[in-house]
Amino acid sequence: AQSVAQPEDQVNVAEGNPLTVKCTYSVSGNPYLFWYVQYPNRGLQFLLKYITGDNLVKGSYGFEAEFNKSQTSFHLKKPSALVSDSALYFCAVRDYGGSQGNLIFGKGTKLSVKP
């Protein structure tokens, strides 16, 4: 069965410092991987996806993610964090077991960026 794991419940970063939010995956086929962000009292917003091609994927708001097949990881990164990046981040994988390839989400990582 497909799954993703987000090992950190919370990540704390100072504004201007680089940030990394970790995600590892387990899939039976080629992984389709995604990052979503959830701001308070708002729905999830799509950030970026990896399907094939370059291992470094660029997304919205200056975020990028690095796909690493040998480590089965898909960590989210940003070179310089902003206070406004504080939110809940979800990693997701396409569910090949589902009838139409729906998404399976991790439990989320709360990112807190302090001024």
What is the phi/psi pair of residue 27, to 5°?
A: -135, 160
Least distance from C-beta 63 to another protein, angstroms? 16
Least distance from C-beta 101 to another protein, angstroms? 6
Nearer to another protein, 15 or 22 (CB): 22
Handedness of CA 77, 78, 80, 84 (dihedral sign): negative
- Chain contacts with another protein (rule: CB under 8 A): 32, 34, 36, 41-46, 49, 90, 92, 94, 98-108
Least distance from C-beta 11 to another protein, angstroms? 16
Q: How far is 66 from 91, CA to CA, in rounded Å?
A: 12
